[in-house]
Structure 1
Amino acid sequence: MSEGELFPEPGWAGASGHVALPEAAPGSVADRLLVAETIARYGWAYDERDRAALAACFTPDGVWQGIIMGRDHVEPIHGADAIAAWLAGFWPAQIDQRRHVFSNIVVGEPDGGEVLAYAYLVLLSSHDRTTTPVSAGPYRFTLRRTDRGLWRIARLAAGFDAPF
């Protein structure tokens, strides 16, 4: 990084291909709410250290991957149970209470039983009577409809604006 270079560069998510907002689509309000709930459940499951609930947010063949500031990639993790185990592996080192706060959820039009959604994450840490931000960034979700009409995460691409 050279002197004066912005890091992260504003707009990195779009420039790197991490974000490409879908056209506004009428879609079903129920589907949009169920997609948003699945995203929220992912955050709740992580924060409450509920490994089973975390795995249940994903399809059995789900994929979790990450990108930091458009430059550094976190290799994909494959399979709901493997994703939950990998994420749970961070818990012993995190003595703080994490809070994944998702906002600005944008949901595309379902296509063939899948839908693309984006959300901003603000990750907070509470420890020793203080709450501080840890990171923020754009998350991209591909969700698949189950035979019960619910949505599960088939692919999560987590984006982080700063190292965590």
Structure 2
Amino acid sequence: MSDLLPEPGWASAVGQVSLPEPVPGAIADRLLAGELIARYGWAYDERDRAALAACFTPDGVWQGVLMGRDRVDPIRGADAIAAWLAGFWPAQTDQRRHVFTNVVVGEPTGGSVVAHAYLLLLSSHDGTTTPVSAGPYRFTLRRTDRGLWRIAHLEAGFDAPF
């Protein structure tokens, strides 16, 4: 890697991003996967710890990577993930907005599916909204008994320190 940070294409270089081919059909699965990703952002931004935990499978994993170099150790378990993420809230006196875009959902196989999305993280404070960070997110989703998706593994990528 070069000294340019973030190095263009870092998420593919470290194996976080591998875009699936588009698959016709399964529109409901794609919509539900996209909605789950949005719900994760809403739950965080509205500081709804229960809703945040509900986005994950009971054995879900959250981990992060900063510019493809620095890794955040995995957090395991829906309640532990929600507690860990909620631990940032007291220091964040601004209103955060997790904007997920460019959602790409692969073909469901064996009750799971991989989805990719870009995050644009915004902060609103004192009447001003500014970007905080951006980056690629990789979601491995698992189907529940009710046919809904939950996050089994999330790898959050950040292009810049926040």
- The interval holding the TM-score normalised by the smaller chain is over 0.9
Q: How far off its partner does 1:62 sit?
A: 0.2
Does structure 2 retain, via aligned residues, the 8 Å contact 1:27–1:110?
no
Once residues 65 and 43 of structure 1 are traced to their aligned partners in structure 2, the CA distance between those partners, rounded to angstroms, is: 16
Q: Summarize deviations over 1:49-102 as a string: whole Å, max 9, x none.
A: 000000000000000000000000000000000000000000000000000000
Partner of 2:6: 8
Once residues 27 and 90 of structure 1 are traced to their aligned partners in structure 2, the CA distance between those partners, rounded to angstroms, is: 39
**Identical amino acids, percent of aligned pairs:** 82
Aligned residue pair count: 162
Moved beyond 3 Å, runs of 4+? none
Partner of 1:82: 80
Unaligned residue ranges in structure 1 (runs of 5+): none
Q: Summarize deviations over 1:24-60 as a string: whole Å, max 9, x none.
A: 1124100000000000000000000000000000000
Q: Secondary structure at the match of 1:64?
A: strand
Unaligned residue ranges in structure 2 (runs of 5+): none
Once residues 25 and 47 of structure 2 are traced to their aligned partners in structure 1, the CA distance between those partners, rounded to angstroms, is: 33
CA-based RMSD: 1.1
Partner of 1:33: 31
- In structure 2, the CA distance between the partners of 1:11 and 1:70, relative to structure 1 (3 Å rule), is same
Once residues 82 and 108 of structure 2 are traced to their aligned partners in structure 1, the CA distance between those partners, rounded to angstroms, is: 26
Does structure 2 retain, via aligned residues, the 8 Å contact 1:141–1:155?
yes
Partner of 1:121: 119
The letter for the 2-side match of 1:76 is P
